[in-house]
Structure 1
Amino acid sequence: MAVTAQMVKELREKTGAGMMDCKKALTETNGDMEKAIDFLREKGMAKAAKKADRIAAEGTAFIKSEGNEAVILEVNSETDFVAKNEGFQQLVKELAEQLLAKKPATLEEALEQKMSSGDTVAEYINKAIAKIGEKITLRRFEVVTKGDNDSFGEYLHMGGRIAVLTVLEGTTDAQAAKDVAMHAAALNPKYISRDAVSEEEVAHEREVLTQQALNEGKPEKIVAKMVEGRLGKFFEEICLVDQAFVKNPDQTVGEYVASKGGKVKELVRYGVGEGIEKRQDNFAEEVMNQVKK
């Protein structure tokens, strides 16, 4: 497979490795991005595999709660200008109310349900599109419930560019729950705890770390012990309760929550547009094309 400049650029952004190292890694792995990341890590050329998807699409994420129920949702638009539009913001709030009231199980089910206006959700969104003049989509949502002795943590960063909803079980300390949500907004943990990490992912990481240690010239007899130590660091990076708490790095998030008499039960974090590739427009070319007409 031919290695393109765009592929090299993408790998460099994900790993922080040098351009020539990225090109070599892609050549060695026949253009496989994931294998190229592992190749660089094994050679010690990449500090970490930054696999977070690019945030490209515009829109907003929002949270609404009532009693023991809450909903977090993401609604996308084509431009940030429209995302800040009063009509768009009102639509997002109305969709949140609808989802919280009807609690659909899937996105497809949500779009087919009737709103108080008599329109289905899909029809209601289409009317908003006609009025606002941009494509708008309800991308995802999750309805979350808690017990009477639990607490919701709700946090919107930058007006909804990132939204985090947490549930702390065993404590009604809403501020603590919000603190955890703010932490998750900043550090973006992949899992709540180590129990949630699949055996396959742990095995893959152990294999990468083992090869990395061997490539560093470490004696085989101490490699296994080294790998387990590095694996602990891996868990600290991706698991919420193992991360150093941003408000007090001397304790982990798990220790902070435990000091409040609770434990983290749920975590939902939405970054607007994550995983959506946005069309890359060449503005100068667009202007020239208009001039030629």
Structure 2
Amino acid sequence: MEITAQMVKELRERSGAGMMECKKALTQNNGDMDASIEWLRKQGLAKADKKADRVAAEGRIVLAQDAGKGVLVEINSETDFVAKDANFLGFADNVAKAALGVADVEALKSAAYASGGTVEEARAAVIAKVGENVQIRRMVRIDSANTVAGYLHGGRIGVLVELKGGSADLARGLAMHIAAMNPPHIAEKDVPAEFIAKEKEIELAKMSEKDKSKPVEILEKIISGKINKIINDVTLVGQPYVLDTNETVGNVLKKEGAEVIAFHRLVVGEGIEKVVEDYAAEVMKQAGLA
């Protein structure tokens, strides 16, 4: 019986196994979908299906660099225990290397894996080994003729920086700063106008009636001073540099004739809603005591 691409796709969706495993299962079972699923389960390759709806909010950020290329990938597991497992760590490192050659997560899934097959097939295999849902959630990359530096903090925070001018040491120092201080923007020009307008409104509302009665030009100076401080807090160049808190990042860049063109910062699990189980409350409820 001819095994079509549509059959392989359907089996992949139903089982969660890799494309090559699905094709082999269908070939072994003459195209019978149910028998192929059973065959995959016996091989331990259909476990991913049962775990696909579990929340995977732990994991690691992994980094790979090559000349002017840098990439960060977030790979999630259900527990921190599995995030430290050798199978998971080996998979994560290989995925980072594969990510250097692709543009996004979808392309990464079909990229070649170091030991053979695709990244998606390797993901299904690692799920079978560790017994948890494993997801490649997102990736960011920089490909530039400028200096590109990466920094990982404990495998949970990752930063990429593109620096024009300056040095590799400065770029790495800035990556460490961004990991620690998490600036939302590079410079004042990147701060949305609506954010500044809202902050002005808030600062004005906080002022006393006595201050509000001052001449308009003085009032404007007071408000501008407060807004400038807020802008410094939310911009990379305005923050005190973590490696030399006597200087702002902007001053350090100026001294070295450098400019930050772009940066990315990823944190494991950010934006994922975690389900917190209160087992004590649940037991009390079941026992009619709550």
* Both proteins in one fold, TM over 0.5: yes
Q: Deviations over 1:127-162 (max 9, x none)?
A: 211111111111111121221xx32222211x2111
Amino acid at match of 2:173: D
What letter is aligned with 2:83?
A
1:14-37 CA-to-partner distances (Å, cap 9, x unmatched) read xxxxxxxxxxxxxxxxxxxxxxxx
User: Would you say the 8 A contact 1:153–1:176 is kept in 2?
Assistant: no
- CA separation of 1:64/1:216 partners in 2, compared to 1, >3 Å: closer, same or farther? farther
Deviates more, 1:205-214 or 1:227-236: 205-214
* Pairwise CA distance, 1:63: 1.2
Give the whole-Å Cα distance in 2 for the aligned partners of 1:114 and 1:215.
67
With over 3 angstroms needed to count, the CA separation of the structure-2 counterparts of 1:215 and 1:89, relative to structure 1, is farther
**Which residues of 2 match residues 124-135 of structure 1 at below 5 A?**
124-135=122-133
Q: Give per-residue Cα distances to partners, 1:77-116, cap 9 Å, x unaligned.
A: 1111111111111111111111102x22x33333344546
The question of 1:200 aligning with 2:194 is answered yes
Structure 1 CA distance for aligned equivalents of residues 286 and 117 of structure 2: 39
- The alignment's C-alpha RMSD in Å is 2.6
Q: Which amino acid aligns with 1:70?
A: G
Q: SS state of the match for residue 62, structure 2?
A: strand
Q: Confirm or deny that 1:80 pairs with 2:75.
A: no
- Aligned equivalent of 2:205, options 202, 211, 231: 211
Instruction: State whether residues 75 and 135 of structure 2, in contact with CA within 8 Å, keep that contact through their aligned partners in structure 1.
Output: yes
Secondary structure at 1:281's aligned position in 2?
coil
Greater CA radius of gyration, 1 or 2? 2
Secondary structure of the corresponding residue to residue 100 of structure 2? helix
| TM-aligned CA distance change 1:199 to 1:215, over 3 Å | same
Structure 1, gaps ≥5 residues long = 1-55
| Secondary structure of residue in 2 paired with 1:242 | coil
Q: Secondary structure at the match of 2:107?
A: helix
The equivalent of 2:231 in structure 1 is 235
In the other structure, the counterpart of 2:89 is 89
2:201 is aligned with 1:182: no
CA 1:114–1:220 in 2, change beyond 3 Å: closer, same or farther?
farther
Shift in alpha-carbon separation, 1:89–1:279, aligned structure 2, 3 A: same
Structure 1-normalised TM-score?
A: 0.71
The range that moved more, 127-136 or 214-223, is: 214-223
Aligned pairs (5 A) from 1:117-128: 119-128=117-126
| Change beyond 3 A, Cα 1:238–1:118 | same
Of 69-78 and 110-119, the range deviating more from structure 2 = 110-119
Secondary structure of 2:226's counterpart equals helix
Does structure 2 retain, via aligned residues, the 8 Å contact 1:58–1:79? Answer: yes
Change (3 A) 1:213 1:91: same
Greater shift, 255-264 or 177-186, is seen at 255-264
Q: 2:220 aligns with which of 210, 221, 224?
A: 224
1:153–1:167 contact (8 Å) kept in structure 2:
yes
Question: How far apart are the structure 1 equivalents of 2:78 and 2:285?
Answer: 21
Number of aligned residue pairs = 230
Structure 2 stretches of 5 or more lacking a match?
1-55
| 2:159 paired with 1:161 | no
Find the residue that maps to 2:81 and give its secondary structure: helix
Tell me, yes or no, if structure 1 residue 282 matches structure 2 residue 278: yes
Offset at residue 258 of structure 1 (A): 2.5
State the match for 1:259 in structure 2: 255
Q: Distance in 2 between matches of 1:118 and 1:215?
A: 72
Q: Any idea what SS the aligned residue of 1:241 has? A: coil
1:189 aligned counterpart, secondary structure:
coil
Query: Relative CO higher for 1 or 2, CA cutoff 8 Å, sep ≥ 6?
Result: 1
SS state at 1:124 partner: helix
Is the Cα–Cα contact under 8 Å of residues 210 and 224 in structure 1 kept in the other structure? no
Where does residue 21 of structure 2 map in the other structure? Answer: none
CA distance in 1, matches of 2:245, 2:77: 37
| SS, match of residue 280 in structure 1 | coil
In structure 2, C-alpha distance between the alignment counterparts of 1:216 and 1:86, rounded to whole Å: 65
